[in-house]
Amino acid sequence: MKIFSNKNFVAWYFVFPVAFIHLFVIGIPSLASLALCLTDWRGLGEINYIGFENFIELFDDRYLKKAIINNVIWTIAFLTVPVGIALTCAYLLTGIKRGQMFFRLAFFFPYMLASVINCQIWKYLFHPIHGLGGFFERIGWDFLAVSPFTMKSTSLFAVAFVDGWHFWGFLVVIYLTGMYQVDNHLYEAADIEGATKFQKFRYITLPMIRPVFVFSIMIIIIWSVPVFDYVYILTGGGPAYSSEVIANYMYSQAFERFDVGYSSAIGTLMFFYVMIIVALFGLFRKAGWDI
């Protein structure tokens, strides 16, 4: 009994309630989902074991392949555009003494809005009749006459743009926080050496905020896997699967086609993909990366 009153056990008492809830809300459903991927369950009724049939079908599914490619494009887009803009803006903001809070609030504001609201704003802006397209058309310009959400060539980028618009303010805030931790003496020394603003950014700011930066890269890669809401609301994955992503495809299989077993197989793939990313970052940490 003495062991339970040991000081080292106290932390476990605090962790236990959360761990208990996680076990029921995440742990057991996740295990059930892993088991369901080997069945033909349709969401109701009896469950039949079908071995790896769902996975065989999965590797032959051209729309899943399309969704995976779209997820990769999405990840690359998020690793470049919002990160680039956020880094630049955060760095420029550090030089602003008056009114900085206004810009921080303005950049962060879309992040506070619900995804449905963000989507409706942009849907209306790009609407061919009521939106900017309709407005420009009335004054004789064909600019934006067609909504980018409804064109096969632009739909994925248009959705990524809206999601990125909502997300980059968050990155600004975390980069800014990292930049404020940098010792000012380093910049003073660089000034004495005659370093330019870019050189200070490249050789002082960026290396010094590396933990924050790598963390942001990691969450972007992980969050890009289950991306769903913006795609679902803006395009539903269309037109012609051009903006289809894995999570949306998984949802469609489970709730439109009632193929829960197949949908679980897709979920299992996503799970292993995220596990690999987390493991990679774990390896980097072990290799001595400061993350």
Partner 1 sequence: MILKFFNVILLNGGIMIRTLISFVSLIILSTSYSALAKTKVTWSMESNADRDPIMIEKLQNAYNNSQGNYELVIEFEDNETRLTSMRTAMIGGMGPDIVETPGPSYVKEYHAAGMLENLDSYAAEFGWKDKMIPWAYSSGVFEGSLYAIPKTHESMVMLYNKTLFEENNWKVPTTLEELEDVAGKIKAKGMNVFSYGSDGWQPTHEHLVGIYLNNYAGPQAVYEAIIGEREWTDPVFVEALELLKKHMVDEGYWSGSLENYYAIGWDDFHAQFANRGAAMMTIGTWTFQATQLGIGASDDEWGWAPLPSLSSQSPDPNFMIAIGTTMSVNANGKNKDGAIDVLNWIMSNKDKVLDIAKDFEFGEMVVPLTLSSSDIPTDIAPQVQDYLSEYARITGEGNYGYCTWTFWPADPGVHIWKDMEVVWAGDISVEDFLYDHQKMWDKARKNGDTLPVPLRN
The verdict on 65 binding partner 1 (CB under 8 A) reads: no
The verdict on 256 binding partner 1 (CB under 8 A) reads: yes
Residues 130-149 interacting with partner 1 (rule: CB under 8 A): 130, 146-147, 149
Range list of H helices, the chain: 7-22, 28-36, 53-59, 62-94, 100-112, 115-125, 132-138, 155-180, 184-193, 197-200, 206-208, 210-223, 229-234, 246-255, 260-286
Using CB under 8 A, pick the residue from 70, 241, 247, 265 that binds partner 1: 241
Beta partners for residue 39, in sequence order = 49
The answer to whether 239 and 146 are in contact (CB under 8 A) is no
Q: Pick the closer one to partner 1 by CB: 127 or 210.
A: 127
Q: Pick the closer one to partner 1 by CB: 90 or 144.
A: 144
Using CB under 8 A, pick the residue from 22, 65, 197, 257 that binds partner 1: 257
The verdict on 192 binding partner 1 (CB under 8 A) reads: no
Q: What are phi and psi of 39, to 5 degrees?
A: -125, 175
d(CA 217, CA 226): 15
CA distance to 30, 53, 269, per residue, from 49 (Å): 18, 9, 19
Nearest approach in angstroms of CB 241 to partner 1 is: 7
The verdict on 290 binding partner 1 (CB under 8 A) reads: no
Using CB under 8 A, pick the residue from 44, 139, 192, 287 that binds partner 1: 44
The verdict on 211 binding partner 1 (CB under 8 A) reads: no
Summarize as ranges the residues that interact with partner 1 (CB under 8 A): 42-46, 126-130, 146-147, 149-152, 236, 238-242, 252, 255-259
